[in-house]
Amino acid sequence: IGAVEDPTTILRALIFSSDLSFLMEAHDGLSAAIATQAGFKGLWASGLSISSALGYRDANEASWTEVVDVVERMADASGLPILVDGESGFGNFNNARLLAMKLLQHGGAGVCLEDKAFPKRNSFVGDHHPLVDIDEFSGRLKAIKDTTGDDLLLVARIEALIAGYSLDEALRRADAYADAGADAILIHSRKSDADEILAFAKEWQTLPIVIVPTKYYRTPVSAYRDAGISTVIWANHAMRAAVAGMRAVCARIAAEESIAGVEPEVATLDEVFRLLGYDELAAAEDRYLPKH
Residues of the shown chain interacting with Mg ion in the complex, contacts defined by CB under 5 A? 47, 85
> Is residue 58 annotated as part of the catalytic site, yes or no?
yes
* Residues with Cβ within 8 Å of residue 287, at least 6 apart in sequence: none
Backbone φ and ψ of 224, nearest 5°: -75, -40
Q: Which is nearer to ligand SPV, 141 or 233 (CB)?
A: 233
Residues interacting with ligand SPV, by CB under 6 A? Answer: 46-48, 58, 85, 122-123, 212, 214, 235-236
> Alpha helices of 195-288 — where are they, by DSSP H?
195-203, 221-226, 237-256, 269-275, 278-288
- Selected catalytic residue, list 6, 19, 28, 58: 58
Per-residue DSSP letter, 264: G
State in angstroms the smallest separation of the CB of 220 from ligand SPV. 19
Cα 139 to Cα 152: distance, rounded to the nearest angstrom:
17
Q: Which is nearer to ligand SPV, 128 or 205 (CB)?
A: 128
Contact 213, 25 (CB under 8 A): no
Report what 72 binds from Mg ion, ligand SPV, none; CB cut-off 5-8 Å by kind: none
From residue 107, how far is each of 18, 64, 202, 232, 270 by CA, in Å? 26, 14, 34, 21, 28
Q: Which is nearer to Mg ion, 124 or 204 (CB)?
A: 124
Q: Which is nearer to ligand SPV, 124 or 253 (CB)?
A: 124
Count of C-beta atoms within a 10 Å radius of residue 157: 26
Contact 262, 17 (CB under 8 A): no
What residues are labeled active site? 58
